[in-house]
Copies of this chain bind each other. A is one copy, B any other.
Amino acid sequence: MVPRRKTRVAAPPPVCPLTTCMRLLGGAWTPNILWYLRESPRRFSELKGDLQGVSAKTLSARLRKLERDGVLSREVKPTSPPTVEYRLTTLGGRLIPAIEAIVDVGHQLKRLRAVR
């Protein structure tokens, strides 16, 4: 008679690094924003075009939160008309490998089956 196994899954993270990170990625458009910033800075309207269907309000809110979280930086260019450039910070860059892993799985899924 085997006693009830104590499947304490390895070292269950106390306050969950997973949750810690997912708080940064939370929100419908957040991963996509970071994805489009992964190689070069983008302007507000460029991002709005990249993320087909996002509202200005939501994009603005996400960008401000990501800035507060230290994931990206905002720079106003003294041009006319004014333009604003967003770019990943060092911290933001650390998130890219995780997003790449997600994108990679997405590719696998598309090959495996026609996903809706």
Point out residues on A near B: beta carbons under 8 Å.
Answer: 7, 9-25, 31-32, 35-36, 38-40, 42, 46, 50-53, 91, 94-95, 97-110, 112, 115
Contact = CB atoms under 8 A, between A and B. Distances in A.
Contacts of A36: 9, 12
B103 A18 contact: yes
From DSSP, what is the main secondary structure of chain A's interface residues?
A: helix
Contact of A53 (B12, B22, B25, B31): B12
A53 B16 CA distance: 13
Contact of A20 (B51, B100, B110): B110
A10 B39 contact: yes
A94 B10 CA distance: 19
